[in-house]
Amino acid sequence: MNEGKLRKNIAIGAEVKVVQKHHQRTGELTQGFVKKILTHSPNHPHGIKVMLESGIVGRVKNVL
């Protein structure tokens, strides 16, 4: 299980790589810092949804 699927592994201000909804097919990752954690459950099979400080919303694939 990758670290982006568990909410406890993601903190506000953490540097992460996320995949945006429209990049799910290509798997293109966007890097940034977590502003808000949007998924309320403790885990999610596709990755925890977060908002980056840039305003981009995506699912965490890697925690850096």
Burial (CB < 10 A; 0-12, 13-18, 19+), residue 48, is buried
E strand or H helix that includes residue 60: strand 57-63
Which residues constitute the domain of residue 32?
3-63
- Identify the pLDDT of residue 3: 87
Domain count, the chain: 1
- Structure confidence by residue, pLDDT tens digits, 8-62: 999 999 999 999 999 999 999 999 999 999 999 999 999 999 999 999 999 999 9
Q: What is the CATH number of the domain that holds 36?
A: 2.30.30
